[in-house]
Structure 1
Amino acid sequence: MIKEIIVVEGKDDTVAIKRAVEAETIETGGSAINKDIIKRIRLAQQRRGVIVFTDPDHAGERIRKIIASQVPGCKHAFLSQEEASSKGDIGVENASAEAIRRALEQVKTDYRAAASVITMEDLIGAGLIVHPQAAARRLAIGKLLGIGYCNGKQFYNRCRMFQISREEFAAAYRKLEEEEGTHHE
């Protein structure tokens, strides 16, 4: 049984989570997250901890931001869009039990108050922003770091939020270079 309560968007997400792990969920009811749901998430965070596990799309990211801004210290689990896609539909409910378990094993904690050791210059140097392949590279490194896909500014914020260390970032970057066949000794 997972100690934390997992916050998902809807009933189908709860079914998918319970297929993969033994856990309890709070459903936000989609992107129309209200004050009562925030109160329940706050209480869950105080009592047991919370893992936010929303869809890897615009609406899911919006819900994640709302929760993170109003309930500090939440943990976050991420799926890639390909892991959560089925017939053009993107959502946690489409992910395999294995993908859900893997995302929950790679959970990240929001430490927004702490300063990041990763800089925008690091992202430019790694070709994650201001680079013709920046989006694809962010997708790959986001997957390696377990923080999901997002635009450059959000990527920087997630590195900060989850205290991605310079060592973790460098290891993911090296792995990306090896996969691309561009690693230089």
Structure 2
Amino acid sequence: MIKEVIVVEGKSDTAAIKRAVDADTIETNGSAIGEDVLRRIELASERRGVIIFTDPDHAGERIRKIVARRAPGCKHAFLPQEMAYYKGDIGIENASPEAIVKALSELRTESADQAGEIHWEDLMEAGLIVHADAANRRLIMGKLLGIGYANGKQFYKRCTSFRISKVEFETALNEMEKKLEE
């Protein structure tokens, strides 16, 4: 059983999680998270820890930010969009048990000290911002680093708050360049 409580968006996500692992969940019921749900998440964070595992879309990112602000120090699980896609719908509920287990095995934890090794200039030099193919490059790097897809500003924030090292970044960058050459 997973010790932490997993925060998901809805009942279908809970069902998918339970098919993959033995864990407790808290459902946000979408992006209109109520105060009572946020209090339950705070309590779970204090007593057991929390893993935020939201859909890899705009609404999921919004929920992730709200929960992370309310319960700092949460762990984050990220699922690549293609692993969560089914018939035009993107969501955790569409992922295979294997994809869910993999995402939960590659957790990232935010650090309160946001002074990471990666700088804005590193993203520019890597073509992750201010580049014609920046969005695609961030998509690939996000998968390789296990931090999910994000726009440039959010990608930078994730690199710093998850304390991505220069070595991790360079390794992922080299792997991305190889993938793009294929």
Same fold? TM cut 0.5: yes
Superposed, 1:5-154 pairs within 5 Å as: 5-154=5-154
The one-letter code matched in structure 2 to 1:20 is: A
How high is the TM-score relative to the length of structure 2? 0.97
Identical columns (%): 64
Unaligned runs of 5+ in 2: none
User: What is the CA distance between 1:141 and its match in structure 2?
Assistant: 0.5
User: What is the CA distance between 1:114 and its match in structure 2?
Assistant: 2.9
Partner Cα separation in structure 2 for residue 87 and residue 49 of structure 1: 34
Secondary structure at 2:81 match in 1: coil
User: What is the CA distance between 1:61 and its match in structure 2?
Assistant: 0.5
How high is the TM-score relative to the length of structure 1? 0.96
> Number of paired residues?
182
Q: Could you tell me which residue of structure 2 aligns to residue 173 of structure 1? A: 173
The one-letter code matched in structure 2 to 1:3 is: K
Unaligned runs of 5+ in 1: none
Secondary structure at 2:15 match in 1: helix
In the TM superposition, what whole-angstrom CA distance separates every residue of 1:5-33 from its partner, at most 9, and x where no partner exists? 10000000000000011111000111110
Secondary structure at 1:82 match in 2: helix
User: What is the CA distance between 1:180 and its match in structure 2?
Assistant: 2.3
In the TM superposition, what whole-angstrom CA distance separates every residue of 1:75-111 from its partner, at most 9, and x where no partner exists? 0001111111100001000011111011001110011
- Residues 85, 94 of structure 1: 8 Å contact kept: yes
